[in-house]
Amino acid sequence: MSRRPGRHDANRSRHAPGQSGAKDPASEWVFGTHAALAALSNPRREIRRIVASHQSAPAWREKVAARGLKLEETSPEAMTQLLGRDTVHQGIAVFAGPPAETSLEDMIDEAPRKDALLVVLDQVTDPHNVGAILRSAAAFGASGLIMQDRHAPPLNGTVAKAASGGADLVPVARVVNIARTLEELKQAGFTVIGLAGETDKPLKDLVPEGPVALVLGAEGPGLRRLVREQCDALARIDMAPAMESLNVSNAAAIALYELRRGKRLR
C-alpha cells in the first residue's frame, strides 16, 4: 500500500467574504458548543477566526486564549447574519481549516490490533448521516472511518455539527475503491462485516475476535454487489417485523454498540 496525502482540496464549502482565510475555499465555519470545542482542542486544525455572542463569550475566553488566539465578541443578530438564519450556532463559531485526513495505510498501522473497529461507508452521501455516524464512532471507540473519494460529502460545518465533536476525534481516510479497500483490510487481519437487512444472521451472533471493519451502505441501494462480495459476512440488526429498515446513522449506532458489547462479553 502506498501512502496517500490528505485530500484537503476536497473539503470545499462556504466561507465568510472579506474575512481572514476567505481565500482558502477549504476553510469552513464550525458552530455549536461541542463541535467548536472539539475543533479548538484539535491541534491539527488550523483555526483562523473565532466569534462568540456577548452572552457566550465568558465561557470561551480561557479556551481561546489557550490556543493563543483572539476571541471576537458580537451580538446574536450579527452571528445569525454571518452564519445564516437556519444555523443553530449556540453563540459560538470557529472559522477553521478542515480536519486533517489520514491515509488508509496509516489508519491500519495506528489501529490497536486486538480491539480495532473501523467504519466503512459505501456511498453514504448525506452529510447529516455522515456526521451522526462519526458521533457514534467516537462514542463507541472506533479507530477510524473510511469513505470513498467520490459519492461522499466533505467534512464541512454540517458534518461537524451533526458529529458533535466526532469529526475531530475520529480519523477519516478517503479511498478510491471501497471493494479493493476491504480486500486490503482483510489482508491486514480485519474481519469485514457488512450490514444488510435481508440476511438472516443477527450481528450479535457474529462478533469475531480481533479487529473488525463494519461496512454500511447508502439508504435505498444498500451495499453494492462488489462490496458485498468482499465482506466476510453479512449481518442484520434484530428489530420488529413491522419495521423494514433503519436510517443508516441509527443502524450504525446500534451496530457499533453490538460489536463493542460483544467484544466485552468475550
Alpha carbons 74 and 63: distance in angstroms, whole number: 17
Give the start-to-end residue ranges of the domains of the chain: 22-96, 104-264
Say yes or no: do domains 22-96 and 104-264 share a fold. Answer: no
Q: What is the CATH number of domain 22-96?
A: 3.30.1330.30
State pLDDT tens for residues 82-112: 988 888 899 999 998 888 789 999 999 988 7
pTM higher than 0.75, yes or no? yes
Q: What is the CATH number of domain 104-264?
A: 3.40.1280.10
CB-based burial, 8-43: b 16+ in 10 Å, e otherwise: bebbebebbeeeebeebebbbbbbbbbbbbbbbebe
Alpha carbons 32 and 200: distance in angstroms, whole number: 41
Alpha carbons 183 and 235: distance in angstroms, whole number: 18
State pLDDT tens for residues 197-248: 888 899 989 988 899 999 999 877 889 999 999 999 999 998 877 777 789 9
